[in-house]
Amino acid sequence: MTERHEEAPGGQRVWFITGTSSGFGRELTRAVIAHGDRVVATARDVAAIADLTALAPARVKAVRLDVTGAESIRDAVAEAERAFGRIDVLVNNAGSGLLGAFEELSESALRHNFETNVFGAMAVTRAVLPLLRRQRSGHIVQMSSVIGVIAGAGGTAYAGTKFALEGMSAALAAEVAHLGIRVTIVEPGPFRTDFSGRSLRWGAPMEDYAELMAPARKALEASHGDQSGDPYRGAEAIIAAVGLEDPPLRLPLGAEAFTWIRAHFQARLAELDAVEAIGADTAFR
């Protein structure tokens, strides 16, 4: 892969990043600023990102955005266009975590998780796409997870949202490539963010699932603050991928993500071979 030419006039891309008050969103904003680009940093509470604006006041625009609110999205995109005249890279980073056995999760909690992680990202993408189409250029970065590839016990909600985001994004990539728009799905493994801390919610524990879920929850909470992944270095990898002439559709982040995803697909291939005799011979005779 080779680096591609800058899409924005003057060589400064304009990034529009959701959820910049913490985690990957914050670190990506910092890395974009250090890279010399311009950025629209969005958050539900803009006071929480005042320090990001202070890093480069002429190149950073802080904008309030709630990805679950249609009017909020329209206003934020319009403000971004007024501030910088274009958007070159949209990063759908805002999201929330919800773990627990399926029966432990309330209907309202499930719907809220999908509203934020799936429909929120879709709504922001829908609002930005007309601008990217007019430009005949742009890049959409969808922040998924290794859990968007590999689902396990306790992940029915979060994996469900990330699987949905990945499927939608892969199809979108095929629809907009001829317009000069690229899509990259980012799949981080364990990184030192707030995901396993204050940003994570759990379902109401049930005795029948305690033996399965309690150790998993304890282990995840114990790992908080000790994950191997540095989100700033992950952010630099995202910037590097966006700068490629032929950017990847999927970008796993962290050595663990590559190991787990590779093992997952090897197991899937073995499973495919094992069931072929049963499932393949179904044509009319």
- Any idea which residues carry the catalytic annotation? 144, 158, 162
Is residue 13 classed as helix, strand or coil in its secondary structure? coil
Please, are residues 23 and 2 in contact by the beta-carbon 8 Å criterion?
no
Spell out where the chain has E strands: 14-17, 38-43, 60-64, 89-92, 97-99, 138-143, 181-188, 200-202, 250-253
Please count the residues of the chain: 285
Say which residues have a Cβ less than 8 Å from residue 54's Cβ, sequence separation at least 6.
Answer: none
Residue 152: both structure tokens together:
């396990």
Q: Which letter does DSSP use for residue 3 in this model?
A: B
Amino acid 9 reads: P
Where do we find the tokens 């364990």? 190
Query: Of the candidates 198, 240, 28, which has an alpha carbon nearest to the alpha carbon of residue 41?
Result: 28
Amino acid 158 reads: Y
Please, are residues 202 and 100 in contact by the beta-carbon 8 Å criterion?
yes
